[in-house]
A and B are shown apart, each in its own frame.
Chain A
Amino acid sequence: MKVYVVDNGGQWTHREWRVLKYLKVETKIVPNTTPFDELKDLDGLVLSGGAPSVACDSNRMGNNGDYLDMATFPILGICAGMQFMSQHFGSTLGPANVPEFGEVRLKVSDHSDLFAGLPDEFVVWGSHNDEVKTVPEGFRLTASSPSCKVEGIACVDRPLYGVQFHPEVENSEHGTEIFQNFLNIIKDRK
């Protein structure tokens, strides 16, 4: 199975690569300027977080839009990756009412995909200044936190998923399982 990580400049992009490597997936970090054509044979893609404020610096998000429009394989957007995904499909972003750095108390409302088999509430880690203000049309909300409503989303009719927090860091509980669930979604489609 081939799942690459698109580098949007995150501090933890390489950690996403490490988790995938540990899960025995063929993986590589690629710049977000990589043409979709070079990625079209993948089985899945992770859009990393990054320093850009997506709302203002969307030019620094490279070809993320192409990947979202052209891919038929599953995509998981993390932090800025999810924010870009949401904006791309019509929702608004803005500075977070309460930014979250470090511990976040996650409340899962939908266990059907990324959160399959996980508890209703657990601790994850976030690091974000901006947030997604509304769930984009055609998506459902999968998780929230006391400070941030949109912590997790999933597209209704395409395999697109997003999380505001960082399942790839050590301090996030069930982080590896979230990645494994993403890989299971890929496997089930094959």
Chain B
Amino acid sequence: MTGLFDEQGFIDEAVEMVRESIPAPGKAIIACSGGVDSMVTATLASRAIGDRLLAIYVDSGLMRKGETEEVEAMMKRMGINYRVVRAADEYFDALKGIEDPEGKRKAIGEKFIRVFERQAREFGATYLLQGTIAPDWIESGDGVRDTIKSHHNVGGLPKDMNMTLVEPLRDLYKDEVRQVARKLGVEASERQPFPGPALAIRCLGEVTPEKVEIVREACFIVEDEIMKAVGAKEAVRPWQYFAVLLPSKSVGVQGDRRAYGYTVAVRAVDSVDGMTATFSKLPLEILNRISVRITDEMKSQVNRVVYDITSKPPATIEWE
């Protein structure tokens, strides 16, 4: 059910909300991944408080292929104050030895806040703006709600954080954020959802730079093949599409030699709000192209590709 959401009304209220929450001369930083939620928040906040805002993009070493450059260019075109923080080593250190998905999410959530605190101190900011939307706090759980997964920007926040949170999109879902983004002319309006913990949760089990490299390349192939197929009108663009690196190995045969490599799961889902989803019924020919390209180009690491045919519920969209 779309079309009943009043974007302009929301924009006016949100700008006012940010203005009231961060009175002059107060300064704020905004956690900016380059996704539609944070870019909309940045645009609204920039209207509300102008130069008292600094956008921070963190290159956690867990982002997709070419993403840091892409997001930096976008922020430059937006004409806001921004800074790119390169902190891959810190994130990999924090993730060392952690296999549990919740442990990974919490370690990443805490790391983000420590990076933001340092940046805030330098800029003289006491407020942290986040593009938190409804599914983030719903799934993170609270007094009455089960924790499905701790979203890094809610359930992953450390208790001793010393910045005041401002989250103007808390009551919106992704489809509504996109409507606002289109109205505001935000360039990121159609970017597919990408979780804050990034490739760390697409790499089941312990996260290492080597495994992230594998899943980064596999994700790139999935995105590239699907977008090519969408461009050729062979398929409707799914809501979200990516690869997951499974922690187990299986036997294969490559050029008459025994192979023993990883399995990549391909996931593509259709959804409106991320709270329910069905797996995308992609034409088999597209899945075939993805499979062949992954196992050819990544032959030293991956010798098997599977397609995830589960809806949410009972599964979630991301695997961790």
B-binding residues in A (CB < 8 A): 7-15, 18-19, 22, 31-32, 50-51, 60, 101-103, 125, 127, 169-171, 175-176
Contacts and interface: CB of A to CB of B under 8 A. Distances in A.
Contact of B134 (A8, A14, A101, A171): A14
12 contacts: A9-B144, A11-B138, A12-B275, A14-B138, A51-B146, A60-B144, A101-B314, A102-B312, A127-B313, A171-B278, A175-B1, A176-B1
Contact of A169 (B134, B146, B275): B275
A170 B312 CA distance: 12
B140 to A, nearest CB: 11
A175 B273 CA distance: 15
Given A11-B139, A171-B278, A103 B311 contact: yes
Contact of A19 (B1, B134, B313): B1
Contact of B276 (A19, A60, A169, A176): A169
Given A15-B275, A125-B276, A169-B276, A10 B145 contact: yes
A9 B276 CA distance: 17
A102 B145 contact: no
The DSSP consensus for interface residues of chain A is mixed
Given A170-B273, A170-B276, A11 B145 contact: yes
A18 B10 CA distance: 14
A60 B144 CA distance: 8
A11 B139 CA distance: 7
A32 B144 contact: yes
B43 interface: no
B145 to A, nearest CB: 5
B269 to A, nearest CB: 11
A51 B275 contact: no
Given A102-B313, A176-B1, A11 B275 contact: yes
